[in-house]
């Protein structure tokens, strides 16, 4: 007998969002994220990607429709962690103290939090940098610390808002590979916002394309083969074909008539 599919981790059901005193940012936005899935959210500037992420995090409430994440309810093991475009580290604290922070805020004992932070820093290639201050780090290293601070929480859902947008291409590619390794080791679901078609192809299992405005999901695209993929997948014919299909979907979303 086939195994029934696991219930989704996160559901957007015809979600609308009007910012207070502002315009309608999202309308009839429907999307589901499965446990452990890596989903990229791709769309033109201003289409509402960050707004959708803030709704997923529970930082703002929908004006219409529903955002549901029963498995992430307070009190359940493993919640939501978020990584922004800026690493947002505490400049006065060591790398280790930055990564320990979410565990200490939850009351985990100092020694336990330190051990978890050290293990997570080693996983992102920063063993030996525990005592450094953020000002001593490159942009890529600072982002690794931010990712370690998110993954150390053992989240079931990791929300990422263009985390690699400010990095040079080589650093970006290295961080992408490390994120994929961290995702596969942790088993968390990732909702990853990006403008970058190639990044969406390399990282994700599925891409949701957003149109504007107001923003909504206009296309969904599965990226085959499923992970883990060969190290040179980004240069493969399959990746190029996915990138062409996504670029066409983005262009169609941009060209769609805008409501008055």
Ligand X SMILES: Nc1ncnc2c1ncn2[C@@H]1O[C@H](COP(=O)(O)OP(=O)(O)OP(=O)(O)O)[C@@H](O)[C@H]1O
Give residues in contact with ligand X (CB under 6 A): 19, 22-23, 25, 43, 45-51, 195
H/E run at residue 203: helix 197-203
Residue nearest to ligand X (CB): 22
The span from the CA of 4 to the CA of 10, in Å, is 17
Interstrand relation of 157-161 and 80-83 (parallel, antiparallel or unpaired): parallel
Rounded to the nearest whole angstrom, what is the least distance from the CB of residue 147 to ligand X in the complex? 19
Cα distances (angstroms) measured from residue 151 to each of 70, 80, 171: 21, 10, 19
Surface-to-core class of residue 59, CB atoms within 10 Å of its CB (0-12 exposed, 13-18 middle, 19+ buried): exposed
Rounded to the nearest whole angstrom, what is the least distance from the CB of residue 49 to ligand X in the complex? 4
Complex with ligand X: residue 15 or 99, whichever CB lies closer: 15
Rounded to the nearest whole angstrom, what is the least distance from the CB of residue 38 to ligand X in the complex? 19
Rounded to the nearest whole angstrom, what is the least distance from the CB of residue 45 to ligand X in the complex? 4
Rounded to the nearest whole angstrom, what is the least distance from the CB of residue 146 to ligand X in the complex? 17
Complex with ligand X: residue 50 or 86, whichever CB lies closer: 50
Task: Give yes or no for a cis peptide into 228 (omega within 30° of 0).
Answer: yes
Cα distances (angstroms) measured from residue 232 to each of 6, 173, 174, 235, 247: 31, 11, 13, 6, 21
Complex with ligand X: residue 43 or 163, whichever CB lies closer: 43
- Give strand pairing partners of 80: 157
Length of the chain: 260
Complex with ligand X: residue 134 or 215, whichever CB lies closer: 215
Complex with ligand X: residue 3 or 45, whichever CB lies closer: 45
Three-class SS state of 111 = helix
Rounded to the nearest whole angstrom, what is the least distance from the CB of residue 163 to ligand X in the complex? 12
Complex with ligand X: residue 44 or 79, whichever CB lies closer: 44
Strands of 189-194's sheet, edge to edge? 80-83, 157-161, 189-194, 38-42, 206-211, 216-222
Rounded to the nearest whole angstrom, what is the least distance from the CB of residue 237 to ligand X in the complex? 29
Complex with ligand X: residue 43 or 134, whichever CB lies closer: 43
């Amino acid at each position: 007998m086939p195994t029934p599919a696991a219930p989704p981790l996160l559901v957007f059901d015809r979600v609308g969002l009007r910012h207070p005193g502002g315009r309608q940012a999202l309308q009839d936005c429907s999307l589901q994220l499965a446990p452990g899935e890596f989903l990229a959210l791709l769309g033109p500037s201003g289409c509402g990607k960050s707004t959708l992420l803030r709704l997923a995090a529970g930082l703002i409430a929908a004006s219409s429709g529903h955002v549901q994440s029963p498995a992430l309810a307070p009190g359940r093991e493993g919640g939501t962690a978020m990584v922004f475009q800026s690493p947002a580290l505490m400049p006065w604290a060591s790398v280790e103290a930055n990564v320990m922070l979410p565990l200490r805020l939850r009351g985990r004992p100092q020694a336990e939090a330190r051990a978890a932070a050290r293990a997570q820093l080693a996983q992102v290639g920063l063993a030996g940098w525990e005592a450094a201050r953020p000002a001593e780090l490159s942009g890529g290293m600072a982002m690794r610390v931010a990712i370690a601070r998110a993954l150390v929480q053992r989240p079931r859902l990791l929300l990422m808002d263009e985390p690699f947008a400010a990095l040079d291409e080589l650093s970006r590619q290295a961080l992408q590979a490390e994120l994929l390794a961290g995702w596969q080791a942790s088993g968390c679901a990732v909702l990853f916002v990006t403008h970058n078609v190639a990044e969406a192809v390399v990282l994700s299992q599925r891409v949701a394309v957003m149109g504007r405005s107001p923003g909504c999901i206009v296309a969904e695209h599965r990226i085959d083969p499923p992970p883990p993929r060969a190290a040179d997948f980004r240069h493969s014919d399959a990746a190029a074909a996915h990138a062409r299909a996504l670029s066409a979907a983005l262009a169609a979303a941009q060209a769609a008539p805008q409501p008055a």
